[in-house]
Amino acid sequence: MPELPEVETVVRTLRPHVQGLTLLCAREIRPCALKGSLPFERAEGAKVCLVRRRGKLAVLELEREEGRLFLCVHLRMTGSLLAREGLAIADSRALEALAGPRTRAVFGFAEGASWPCTAAVCFDDVRTFGRILAGGERELAAWPFWRTLGPEPLDMDAGAFRAVLRGRRCIKALLLDQKVIAGVGNIYADESLFAAGIHPETPADRLSGEDRDRLFRSLGQILEKAVAECGSSFSDYRDANGNPGSFQNSFAVYGRAGEPCRACGRTLVRIKVAGRGSVVCPHCQRKQRTKR
Ligand SMILES: [Zn+2]
């Protein structure tokens, strides 16, 4: 699933294609609108004033006379936003014709408010878990996922990070919980826990202040490096230009069960934590039974 670095890369590569343009035509090809969404057509005629990321969501902010409208794209497992420009699409039928077998929605953009569309974005999604919410402030506020999203890990300081990691739940479950911290998934949870030498099953309240600070630094460094390397591509993930990322070449543990630990040479093992497959080094990530 695309996580913070992948969605950040999608947003950064999508932005130059559409920011500042008018969304002329929006079509849902196969159902992908989230419950509570306005019809995508309601965004037609609005200007894209900002393309940004929030957690694992890519957000297009559009300016209308009635107020701001948001297109929030949750890529989930296999969703992608693929941009094309230099087009001359004459009408909505021609725009819909851009849809491939995996396309669930298409969006056409132009410099002004009249056809042809010079740019298009296809929301493609093989596994069909992805969703889009179109809405104004009201629809956004009514969307529980949005309303409860936790803080951005790259915008937090160490004190705020320490404060959210509390209670008896295991540390990995907390890192994965979008209400606690937004944007972290299985890859970057496993990688940062390994880098910090913390076993994923450690209850949060058994971690010392030093452990939390180490994890905070590891998570920040890994997310920033992954953003710099345009995310991790080991299955479907591609940026808005169709290019893969390269952080998968830097994985220390994720997807490496059975291989030697890069730090100590012992064999990495796969365990299940918080319902998710997790790869750990039993030597470098000792289970903590008591607070250190
Ligand atoms: Zn090791």
pLDDT one-digit tens code per residue, 236-249: 799 999 999 999 99
Find where tokens 């994985």 sit.
Answer: 251
Assign 289 a pLDDT band (cuts: 50, 70, 90): low
User: What domains lie within the chain, and their CATH numbers?
Assistant: 4-147 (3.20.190.10), 153-280 (1.10.8.50)
Assign 234 a pLDDT band (cuts: 50, 70, 90): confident
| Secondary structure string (H, E, C) spanning 27-76 | EECCCCECCCCCCHHHHCCEEEEEEEEECCEEEEEEEECCEEEEEEEECC
What gap in Å lies between CA 200 and CA 270, rounded to an integer? 11
What is the length of the chain? 292
Those residues whose C-beta lies under 8 Å from the C-beta of residue 249, and which sit 6 or more positions away, are: none
Residues with catalytic roles: 2-3, 56, 276
- Exposure pattern of 43-65 as b/e (b: 16+ CB <10 Å)? bbebbbeebebbbbbbbbbbeee
Q: Ligand 1 center to residue 186 CA distance, Å?
A: 19
Token pair in block for residue 60 = 């297009």
Q: Ligand 1 center to residue 257 CA distance, Å?
A: 12
Decide if pLDDT at 177 tops 70: yes
What gap in Å lies between CA 257 and CA 254, rounded to an integer? 8
Q: What is the pLDDT of residue 92?
A: 97
Those residues whose C-beta lies under 8 Å from the C-beta of residue 251, and which sit 6 or more positions away, are: 187, 191, 232
Find where tokens 């910090």 sit.
Answer: 196
Those residues whose C-beta lies under 8 Å from the C-beta of residue 64, and which sit 6 or more positions away, are: 43, 45, 46
- 68 to each of 72, 123, 139, how far by Cα in Å? 13, 22, 11
Q: Ligand 1 center to residue 234 CA distance, Å?
A: 23
Q: What is the pLDDT of residue 290?
A: 56
Reported as a single tens digit per residue, the pLDDT across 10-56 is 999 999 999 999 999 999 999 999 999 999 999 999 999 999 999 99
Token pair in block for residue 156 = 């937090």
Q: What is the pLDDT of residue 291?
A: 53
Q: Ligand 1 center to residue 285 CA distance, Å?
A: 7
Identity at 85, one-letter amino acid code: E
